[in-house]
Structure 1
Amino acid sequence: MRFDQKVVSALLALFLFTSLSTYGQKAKEIRRFQLTEVRQGVAVDEGHFYVINNHSLTKHTKSDGKQTAAWSDTTGLLKHMNSGVVIGRKLYCTHSNYPDVPMASSIEIFDALTLRHIGSHSFGLFPGSVTWADFYQGHWWVAFANYSDKASAEGRDNRWTTLVKFTESWQQVESWAFPANVLQAFAPKSTSGGTWGSDGLIYCTGHDKPELYVLKLPERGHTLQYLKTIPTLSEGQAFAIDRSVNNKLVFYGITRNDNYVIVSEIN
């Protein structure tokens, strides 16, 4: 019996991916908070976590989940916020016109204390919908998603998902593709959350699976290097790593079907 080399290679990659996913790190639940609405993601700082919905935000104390502030778009200009990251005293939320085409995106900026909207950075029309952003080593790192079930008019599927590096003043510097096995895990969707870890690695999630994918920049070439998969207690979607906790990987994730924010420690 003859085997197609491409089929053999694909099966081998899937086997290795599954094997690496089965062993190693795992998440242990610390606490969970059931809230009124949890749809897109969560951000976190030293004292609070922030729930991101399509066009609204809520702020909660980390100790008991008590809501301390809220914001909702009353202009109709915001369609689909995806994720958030707190940097200093500002909450930066990614936003796109998903599922509309052509794809257009922006980053919306809020005062982390009051949730007052204080600014916006527009990417305009871009070959992908922005789903997550982080600021690391003096640069912005922004993921632009493409979807196999919502292929663009240009025929782009999720293989066109890209991580783009910008300067602090939003000049594009470099970009990378995502590994084929991670794209297969995302399929038919794309990456929904991501951040840099204190270990210098990139952590990202897909749209639905309870998995965290660990990547790093390649020494050469144009594709991020896959390292491992960590099972999580939450769905995909946008998540946050609590950077105020030292020497531990404390992970905030969500479950949309029952509106939970789940806090876990990964070890």
Structure 2
Amino acid sequence: MFTKIAFVTAFLTASLACAVAGEKPLYQAVLLKSTETFDARQGIAVDENYFYATNNFRITKHDRKTGRPLLQWDGEQEGAPLVHLDSMMELDGRLYAAHSNYGQRPMTSSVEIWDAGTMAHIGTHSFGINRGSFTWLDRHKGFWWGAFANYDRVPKGQTAPYGETLNTQIVKMDNNFNILQSWTLPEKILQRMRPMSNSGGSWGPDGYLYLTGHDHGELYVMELPRAGSVLHWAATVKVPNMEGQGIAWDRSSSERRLWAIRKKDRMVFEFSIPEITETIPHPEGRLHGKAFNKN
């Protein structure tokens, strides 16, 4: 009743299509499975046996094979106490979710923590008034990572943009969620995300950071820059059926499996993501021993 499954019988071949001149290398994800839920409006987390779907203030745990809902943590109503849950991830039996008071001013954010077995809420870390609305977090190479999103959209009843999309930041944090470094996004990605912002992020098994916007079926394959403060856009993966929002790599699988949602009808999807074999190289400076540039 809750699940609608469409399995792909053939193995994925990593087909790379060169897009029009000036665009990034373009890859295509393959849909493996679709599951109907009632809570998949913001984010998704996955482990070996379960997936977890969230709306603004509720998380439901599902059997990943059948899609059957098993347990639910219910905040009951917006603002009591949670306002806007976003992306999630599972780590060592705990669920970590990004949370903010999206739409309200001043902008505040927190990390919320649940026991993945019992679905009991067990912890919180408040950023207070910070750099924007916290939309995703992930663990990679011994650090926490996440995004503080800002928006060109003007919230209902207000007159000014909600922080302006160009102010969106990707952050690296220590074990206590203290921010160590931050980066901005390339202008062409910001153009795709406007008037919204960066909704989802998850580090892939290949060491690339995969980001989503709010609306498009696209994964932006990113790297840390070798200089400066703007993330390097290496490639793009087109993802059928997905429309931005939260994503999660399945780290229980040896295959390249990524989970995503479609907000409008609360669908959950499992995809096979091709190997990223060709990327746009990092911009490099040039060393001159003679024939110096004097411009």
- The verdict on a shared fold, with TM-score over 0.5 as the criterion, is yes
Q: What stretches of structure 1 move > 3 A for 4+ residues in a row?
A: 150-156
1:214-247 Cα shifts (integer Å, max 9, x gaps): 000001111100011111121100011111111x
Code of the aligned partner of 1:257: K
Structure 2 counterpart of 1:182: 189
- Counterpart Cα distance in 2 of 1:94 and 1:254: 16
Normalized per residue, the structure richer in helix is 1
Contact 1:179 1:226 in 2 (8 A): yes
Partner SS state of residue 22, structure 2: helix
Q: Does 1:261 align with 2:265?
A: no
Structure 1 position 15, deviation (Å)? 5.4
Distance 2:39 2:129 in 1: 30
Alignment-derived partner of residue 219 in structure 1? 226
Matches within 5 A, 1:238-257: 238-246=246-254, 248-257=255-264
> Quick one: distance in 2 between partners of 1:132 and 1:155?
18
Pick one of 51, 54, 58 that aligns with 2:53. 51
Q: Aligned residue for 1:9?
A: none
Task: Give 1:41's match in structure 2, choosing from 40, 43, 60.
Answer: 43
Partner SS state of residue 181, structure 1: helix
Which residue does 1:200 correspond to in 2?
Answer: 207
The aligned length equals 249
* Partner residue of 2:153 out of 149, 156, 161: 149
Q: Secondary structure at the match of 2:41?
A: coil
2:67 is aligned, of 60, 65, 69, to 65
Q: Does 1:31 align with 2:38?
A: no
8 Å Cα contact 2:154/2:162 also seen in 1? no
Q: CA deviation at 1:156?
A: 3.6
Shift of 1:166: 1.1
8 Å CA contact 2:218, 2:238 repeated in 1:
yes
232 and 155 in structure 1: CA distance in 2 versus 1, 3 angstrom threshold: closer
1:152-171 to 2 correspondences below 5 Å: 156-171=163-178
Secondary structure of 2:230 counterpart: coil
Secondary structure at 2:144 match in 1? strand
Distance in 2, Cα, partners of 1:155 & 1:104: 12
Q: CA deviation at 1:264?
A: 1.3
Question: In the aligned structure 2, how far is the partner of 1:153 from the partner of 1:29?
Answer: 39
1:154 to partner: Cα distance: 8.9
CA contact (8 A) 2:39 2:54 kept: no
Query: Which residue does the alignment assign to 2:112?
Result: 108
User: Partners of 1:29 and 1:155 in 2: how far apart?
Assistant: 34
One-letter code aligned to 2:180: V
Larger Rg: 2
Match of 2:292 in 1: none
Q: CA RMSD in A?
A: 1.8
Once the two structures are aligned, what percentage of the paired residues are identical? 39
Pair 1:91-2:95 in alignment = yes
The amino acid that maps onto 1:26 is Q
SS at structure 2 position matched to 1:182: helix
Instruction: Give the Cα–Cα distance (whole angstroms) in 1 for the partners of residues 21 and 42 of structure 2.
Output: 31
Q: Which residue of 2 aligns with 1:124?
A: 128
